[in-house]
Structure 1
Amino acid sequence: MSPVPRPTLADIARAAEVSTATVSHALNGTGRVGESTRRRVRETATALGYGAAAGTRTIGIAVTTYPRAWSYTEVAYFSRAITAATAVAHTRGYALTTLPADRAADDAWHSLAVDGMLIMDSPRGDPMVHALRARGIPLVFDGVPGDPRPGDHWVDNDHDAATREVLDHLAASGARRVALQSGDGDEHYARAVTEAYAAWCAERGADPLVVPFDVADAQGRSFDALLRGPGRADAVYAAYDPGGRQLLAAAARLGLRVPEDLRVVCASEDPAYAATRPPVTTVTLDPERTARAAVGLLVDLIEGGGAAAPGPVVVPAALLVRASSRAQPAAG
């Protein structure tokens, strides 16, 4: 049998009644192309089977928690997850495309040429999820989806268990007033960690002390009120990557010794925490294992061959204890 001819840029241009240059700009997200024209070109390309006809098999990956321009690839967790996801995708015969965070509300989701999508930290009301569900695109989530449906697949950690392990460790090290630095996003991770912390405090009759995470607060000034005075916190669990450094900076400014005066634990995949002064205890969520499992599920869904039952795949977290949270010898 003769192969079916692949549609070309010229074919799309004729069908969409634009120039080939406009087609190129519209498909690559470059140039000055009106949004209605860009949408029409992409819809035409999809209708003609442009990607499929060329034999392209592509998985998309995006983080949609914060609908603004930010480089999540610079965050250790996402960077390591994307590297692992790319390796698995290539092994299974798929390209992997990393989408910008600020495209979550873009109409391009309605014509994005992907065979499946791995969505990380999807919040409630996620417009990208709504658009891709409407198109029947297979989805797998890193973290519980904000709007889960029967049949959804996701890979996640047991954040309740991991948070309690951290808090119990801090209490066992001698901490009496343990605070939490948590995110203000609407993703499941922030809610789960905060809820676990609140429940742990309630079980001990302690008042919860929660400080909102601020990525721009390099000096840790948001901790100042918490770390001053006779009733100050003597331990903090920072649930986001920069929090450990922010706490070390705050302790240095306020004349607090770590861990003698302040015990610090941070959820992070950054190996540099092993070399800070003192080395910071971290929680690893194992992004490589999470990404490998998620891409494997997604490819199985795309190919219709034996995907696991809907619901969660749980990846264990691990507490890596270092000097910043170790118990101190009792005074003689």
Structure 2
Amino acid sequence: MARVPGPTIADIARAAEVSTATVSHALNGTGRLGDGTRRRVREVAAALGYGAHRGPRTRTLGFAVTTHAGWTWDFAGVAYFSRLLTAATSAAHARGYALTTLPAARGAEPLWHTLAVDGMLLLDSPEGDPVLRALRARGLPVVFDGRPAEPRPGDVWVDNDHEATTREVLDHLAGSGARRIALHSAFGREFYTAAVTSAYTRWCSERGRVPLVVPFDPEDAEGRAFDPAFAAPERPDAVYSLYDPGGRQVLAAAARHGIRTPGGLLLVCASEDPAYAEAEPPVTTVTLHPERIADAAVSALVNLIESGHTESPGQYTVPASLRVRASSLPPDMY
């Protein structure tokens, strides 16, 4: 493996988001800098290995879920992210790279300025993403899982066709007899949530239906957010939930209100959790195919690192799939 050159003052300046003159003053003990600035620049320089012997090292990709950056949560416990992480690790190893997974936790912000990686795979990057800002300042290659909220020319991302998938789900529910379909959404600030919600609103408008968006809360295990809707005279007779635990929340709320699923309520949930297939009733799910997304994203990132470009900047589309089960079918069809 080739010897990796040490970082330059320009590298440190990008990572610390200061000028090269500031870096020079901080490292040499000169200039009129605040103690905090001088200390931070030196910490960044040390983390990057400035001035140290840098022999051969393993090429490394970084992996981070940034839709809720700064909020401590276990994204590896979500089936979609867990499966994508496993697949990305295998894809990276197959191409001669290690994969480092970064935590979504308060206090982790300095990592983005000093992490020694060759490129980053960002999942669900939201508007104003501080992680992306730090990586761009460092000039690191980045590939996105999910369209970034603020893409730049040359950005590369891998995503599903959320418009087509949403329409397929809603058409399926309508074909099963649903007349009042609610969307369980409005939580994240990433492109996925916005794209599906917009597609749902357009679908309803085209058919003269009144949209109903029920807010998702990951802590709402009993599905209390559905209480007003399920108690209303014209309650929803179908729900499309966008998040992994959402299907369980809907079933819990329906049970508390004495609503049978199916029969009284049809349900589709976007999830990779195999437990939904074993539920009672078995729940119809949308799979976004995280393994295929991971392989495409890692391939694109390695190409960026090794050649400085990809064959086609922009979006690589991985089709999603609707796995129909009893929860979204009329009672006489299962």
Determine the C-alpha separation between the residues in 2 that align with 1:303 and 1:247.
46
- Give runs of aligned pairs for residues 148-227 of structure 1, distance below 5 A: 148-227=151-230
Asked if the contact 2:124–2:191 (Cα under 8 Å) also holds between the matched residues in 1, the reply is yes
Determine the C-alpha separation between the residues in 2 that align with 1:142 and 1:261.
36
What residue in structure 2 maps to residue 48 of structure 1? 50
| Partner SS state of residue 237, structure 1 | strand
Determine the C-alpha separation between the residues in 1 that align with 2:94 and 2:243.
31
| Partner SS state of residue 316, structure 1 | coil
Percent of pairs with identical residues: 62
Q: Which amino acid aligns with 2:320?
A: A
Asked if the contact 1:172–1:327 (Cα under 8 Å) also holds between the matched residues in 2, the reply is no
Query: Which residue, 93, 107, 110 being the options, matches 2:110?
Result: 107
Matched, 1:126 2:129: yes
Provide the TM-score with structure 2 as the length reference.
Answer: 0.85
Q: How has the CA–CA distance of structure 1 residues 306 and 107 changed in structure 2, closer, same or farther, with 3 Å as cutoff?
A: closer
| Partner SS state of residue 210, structure 1 | strand
Q: How has the CA–CA distance of structure 1 residues 243 and 50 changed in structure 2, closer, same or farther, with 3 Å as cutoff?
A: farther
- Give runs of aligned pairs for residues 1-332 of structure 1, distance below 5 A: 40-48=42-50, 53-67=55-69, 68-102=71-105, 106-304=109-307, 307-329=310-332
Q: Which amino acid aligns with 1:53?
A: G
Q: How has the CA–CA distance of structure 1 residues 274 and 175 changed in structure 2, closer, same or farther, with 3 Å as cutoff?
A: same
Asked if the contact 2:289–2:318 (Cα under 8 Å) also holds between the matched residues in 1, the reply is yes
What per-residue deviation string (whole Å, max 9, x for no partner) do you get for residues 26-69 of structure 1?
A: xxxxxxxx997576244234253869633221100001111311
Determine the C-alpha separation between the residues in 2 that align with 1:131 and 1:246.
36
Shift, 1:232, TM fit: 0.5
Determine the C-alpha separation between the residues in 1 that align with 2:312 and 2:53.
30
Q: Which amino acid aligns with 2:305?
A: I
What per-residue deviation string (whole Å, max 9, x for no partner) do you get for residues 280-319 of structure 1?
A: 0000000010011000100111011762210000000000
Determine the C-alpha separation between the residues in 1 that align with 2:143 and 2:106.
18
Q: How has the CA–CA distance of structure 1 residues 4 and 117 changed in structure 2, closer, same or farther, with 3 Å as cutoff?
A: closer
Determine the C-alpha separation between the residues in 2 that align with 1:51 and 1:137.
22
| Partner SS state of residue 126, structure 2 | coil
Asked if the contact 1:239–1:266 (Cα under 8 Å) also holds between the matched residues in 2, the reply is yes
Structure 1 gap ranges (5+): 8-33
Asked if the contact 2:112–2:134 (Cα under 8 Å) also holds between the matched residues in 1, the reply is yes
Determine the C-alpha separation between the residues in 2 that align with 1:205 and 1:51.
68
Q: Which amino acid aligns with 2:234?
A: G
Q: Which amino acid aligns with 2:230?
A: L
More off after superposition, 54-63 vs 269-278: 54-63
| Partner SS state of residue 93, structure 1 | coil
Determine the C-alpha separation between the residues in 2 that align with 1:285 and 1:108.
29
Determine the C-alpha separation between the residues in 1 that align with 2:278 and 2:116.
43
Asked if the contact 2:6–2:49 (Cα under 8 Å) also holds between the matched residues in 1, the reply is no
Q: Which amino acid aligns with 2:95?
A: R
Determine the C-alpha separation between the residues in 1 that align with 2:180 and 2:79.
29
Asked if the contact 1:104–1:128 (Cα under 8 Å) also holds between the matched residues in 2, the reply is no
Q: Root-mean-square deviation (CA), in Å?
A: 2.4
Asked if the contact 1:59–1:96 (Cα under 8 Å) also holds between the matched residues in 2, the reply is yes
Structure 2 gap ranges (5+): 8-35
| Partner SS state of residue 214, structure 1 | coil
Q: How has the CA–CA distance of structure 1 residues 242 and 36 changed in structure 2, closer, same or farther, with 3 Å as cutoff?
A: farther
More off after superposition, 108-117 vs 210-219: 108-117
